[in-house]
Amino acid sequence: MSKYAPLKQYATQLGCSYFENEPLSEHTTFKIGGPADIFLSPPSKTVLQSLLEACKKWELPTLVMGSGSNLLVSDLGFRGVVLHVGGGFAELELEGAFEIRCGAGVKLSRLCNFALEHSLSGLEFAWGIPGSAGGAAYMNAGAYDGEMSQVILRCEHVSLNGEAGSRTGEEMNLSYRHSVYAETGDVITSVLYKLTPGDPEEIREKMDDLMNRRRAKQPVELPSAGSVFKRPPGKYAGTLIEECGLKGERIGDAMVSEKHAGFIVNMGDATCTDVRLLIEKIKEKVFLKTGVRLECEIKMIG
């Protein structure tokens, strides 16, 4: 009997469908990644709790993922269970005059539009950032002088033992592309934001301006995982990479973007191996020429 048989039966009892050998390339913005043994999309927080408890009880390797916008998954895939925090975590509502409660699976684009519709300012910087609310909180996503730490009041989560809890913004220990969740492994299920009242026309204007800047400078038309490297102190990774003559550098179908050297793009059939080799080449050349050690921002799986 398959080691996943009890989990499959339990998931069915919980009303959660599962998929076997699901290609993770279909669930990442890089369009890269081999199959997961079992792929589950819990329809609710309680089902997520139950599945996490079960995976721990049966000692099954578990990967939790959202929109897959910051992941590079192995060509061999993931030998274990993937729990996808998606459509079951799509609630979006006002709480009080200036606060928004948002499910972890809500795309940032939908969240930003919701804030605009209610004349609330503070999330304009996030317009155009790929990914979901949960992932953005997890890594304190930011752009154009804004980041999630400026607007998050609290996150609710489920531990890997299936226990529910929450943390305030301060308790989340938010810093550059980091939160305490990267250390605990707890799964964010919802986020509470504190925004400020604003003029909808001004909010829309700022969103449009940032989106135009993003489209002009970033390769949004090609599959990628966003910025590959963290920003070195006092410098920009993309600038260093460009200064090393690496724009357009290519291994297989993985290429350093010709529009923004801080991005690696998938030109068609790039593999995880292609990307990893290109990352190592970039790191080596930048260090040899500038003495700066670039640190990856992308999370590697497998």
Task: Look up residue 67 and give its two tokens.
Answer: 């929109």
Question: Among 67, 74, 224, 227, which one carries the catalytic annotation?
Answer: 227
Helical H segments across 118-178, by residue range: 133-138
d(CA 229, CA 61): 27
DSSP H or E run through 114: helix 108-117
Q: How many angstroms separate the CA atoms of 61 and 81, rounded?
A: 6
231 is catalytic: no
**In contact, 40 and 14? CB cutoff 8 Å:** no
Which among 41, 149, 177, 190 is annotated as catalytic?
Answer: 177
Out of 124, 147, 249, 297, which one is annotated catalytic? Answer: 297
Tokens of 186: 């707890």
Is 177 in the active site?
A: yes
Q: Residue 2: what residue type?
A: S
Q: 94 forms bridges with which residues in the sheet?
A: 100
Measured between alpha carbons, how far is residue 281 from residues 6, 199, 239 in Å? Answer: 44, 47, 16
Q: Which residues pair with 78 in a beta bridge?
A: 36
Q: How many other C-beta atoms lie within 10 A of the C-beta of residue 210?
A: 19
DSSP category for residue 98 = S
Single-letter amino acid, residue 192 = L
Q: Which helix (H) or strand (E) holds 283?
A: helix 272-290
How far is residue 53's CA from residue 66's CA, in Å, rounded to a whole number? 19
Contacts of 113 (CB under 8 A, 6+ apart): none
202 three-state secondary structure: helix
Residue pair 80/62 in contact (Cβ under 8 Å)? The answer is: yes
- For residue 295, give the amino acid letter: E
Active site residues: 177, 227, 297
